[in-house]
Chains A and B, each alone.
Chain A
Amino acid sequence: MIRALDISGSALTAQRVRLDVISGNIANAEVTRQEDGTRVPYRRRFVTFMTGDGQGGPGVHVDEVALDASPFREKYDPGHADADPRGYVQLPNVSITMEYVDALAASRAYEANAAMVGVTRTMIQQALRLFA
């Protein structure tokens, strides 16, 4: 029974990491420079889920946070400091719509697993009441 709690817990962690990554993408949706100052836009990150808790037990975990290899968005803005000679600025390959839909799915999955923790907790309480 405690195992079921661990499984739901691993899912809560995994979905939370997914939400963290999505927040990072949305926060950086207009960023045109890297941390070291190079004029390369932010690349979208995404998580890949893998079954198992990562230590041999059942559950789910984030296998890796990968970089999205799709091309950057381009916007015509010749006055921008990071515009190329043609006048185009390269912007991150982040689509706010996609991120938003993904965030909804993640929060719903989080909710479902949190409800599962509640159900399991009730079951454990019922088992404990056998002694009472």
Chain B
Amino acid sequence: MWIDRLTASRTMHALELAARFAEQRQQVLAENLANIDTPDYQTRRLDPNAFQASLHKALAAARQDGQRRLKLRGNAQFATEPDGEIRVRPATEPAPNVLFHDGTNARLEQTLTDISRNAMSYEMSTSLLRGKFQNLLRAIRGRTE
């Protein structure tokens, strides 16, 4: 449909992927926080910096091939499926501390900081996406109010 061609821009797909990644990461962080008192629990993580780097590469590659869909490749933690979904496999975080005898590496402050940062990055993606949709709406209505 013609509307698909309007919405299937690379920027929109990039923003969508960023939002989906933040959504998945929110689950991982929720699990880390939920298990803050569980003995032997090893925290899991999705690396946001690796995601950003991968997204950057995918954007560059898509721009070169004239593709509208982005493909995230080359990272064990996340990849895009053919249907556009993002599949994640969180890694177990290495536990460098020797404080707890069960080797757990739960850090409340770190987890809470990550949660705030993740929520902000989600907000950024959704606000930019919303701006995009509003632009489209303005074009459809033919007026700028």
Q: Give chain A's interface residues, CB within 8 Å of chain B.
A: 1, 3-5, 7-8, 10-11, 14-15, 18, 48-51, 58-60, 105-106, 109, 112-113, 115-116, 119-120, 122-123, 126-127, 129-130, 132
Contact = CB atoms under 8 A, between A and B. Distances in A.
Contact of A58 (B19, B31, B130): B31
A116 B32 CA distance: 11
B123 A113 contact: no
A9 to B, nearest CB: 9
A112 B111 CA distance: 10
Contact of B112 (A49, A112, A127): A112
A31 B100 CA distance: 34
Interface residues of B, number: 28
Nearest to A126: B126
12 contacts: A1-B26, A4-B26, A4-B29, A8-B33, A8-B34, A11-B35, A48-B39, A51-B31, A51-B38, A58-B27, A116-B33, A116-B115
Given A51-B38, A119-B116, A123-B119, A113 B33 contact: yes
Contact of B30 (A50, A106, A120): A120
Given A1-B26, A116-B115, A119-B116, A60 B34 contact: yes
B142 to A, nearest CB: 20
B37 A105 contact: yes
B38 A123 contact: no
Given A8-B33, A112-B36, A51 B41 contact: yes
Given A4-B26, A130-B133, A119 B33 contact: no
A49 B37 contact: yes
Given A10-B34, A11-B36, A15-B37, 6 more contacts: A7-B34, A11-B30, A51-B31, A120-B26, A123-B122, A126-B126
Contact of A7 (B19, B30, B112, B123): B30
Contacts of A119: 26, 115-116, 119
A104 to B, nearest CB: 12
